[in-house]
Amino acid sequence: MAAPRDEILQAAAELFVNRGYAATSTRDIAEKVGIRQASLYYHFAGKPGILAELLELSVRPSLDQVERIEGECPADLPEAALYLLALIDADTLATVPHNIGRLYRMPDVRSSEVFGEFQPALRELVAAYGRLGAAVISGPVAATVSVDQLGGLLVQVVEVVIRIRARGDEVTRADARAIAATCLRVCGVRDGRIALAAAAADELMPMFATDARSRGAGG
C-alpha cells in the first residue's frame, strides 16, 4: 500500500492533469484520496507545495543523473552521453504518474508562482542537453543554433513521450531508443556513431539505479 503522501501526490497528479491546477482544490484531492482535508495539510502546506513536488518529479530523476552520465560515458564517444540522457529522460517521462510532464505546459501552471520556482530546474535540464549536444553537433545545424536553442530543441524531441501518453498509448523501450537516436540525428550524428552510442548506453544503463521503471511509478 502506498504511503499517504504518495497517495496525495498520485491523486493530485490525476486531478491537475485532467481537470486543471486552478480548478482543483485541496478538498478535491483529499476526497479522492479518502482522507480529511486537515489530514492532507499534515503532509503538505497547501496546493502549491503539491504542484512543486510533482513538477520536480518530471525533471529531477533525469537531472540528478547528468553529472554521472558525463563521468561514466567514454570520452572518445561523446554521443553516448547525449543518447543516455535522452534515454533516461524519456523513461522518466514515460513512467511519472498520470503523465505529469504535461503540467509545465498548462497555462494555469505556467502562470503560478510555483512555476517560477521550478524554472531553474527546467533551465538546468535544457542546459545539460545543450552542453551534451554541442559536444557532438556537426553539419549545417551547427552553424544555425546556439547552445541554448539546441538544448531546447532536444528537450522538445524527448517530450514526444508526453504526447504519446496523452493519446493513450504506452511508451515502449523501442520508442525511448528511437527518441534518443533522433536526438543524435538532430545534431547531425551519422548512423554508425549512433549505433556505437546505443551500445555504450545499453552497457551503462544498469548502473543508473534510479531508472523510473525500477521505481514502479504509477499512471
The identity of residue 202, as a single letter, is: D
Contacts of 117 by beta carbon, 8 Å cutoff, 6+ apart: 52
Mean pLDDT, rounded, for 54-64: 92
Indicate if the pLDDT at residue 131 is higher than 90: yes
Q: Count of residues for the chain?
A: 219
User: Is the separation of the CB atoms in 97 and 126 below 8 Å?
Assistant: no
* pTM of the shown model: 0.90
Tell me the pLDDT of the chain averaged across its residues. 91
Collapse the DSSP code of 81 into the 3-class scheme (helix H, G, I; strand E, B; otherwise coil) and give the result: helix
Mapped onto helix, strand or coil, the DSSP state of residue 208 is coil
Three-state DSSP state, 122: helix
Confidence of residue 208 (pLDDT cuts 50, 70, 90): confident
Please compute the mean of the pLDDT values over residues 62-80 and round it to a whole number.
94
Q: In this structure, are residues 203 and 158 in contact, taking their beta carbons and an 8 Å threshold?
A: no
Span 14-51, pLDDT tens digits: 999 999 999 999 999 999 999 999 999 999 999 999 99
pLDDT of residue 190: 95
For residue range 72-81, list pLDDT tens digits in order.
999 999 999 9
Tell me the C-alpha distance between 56 and 219, whole Å: 16
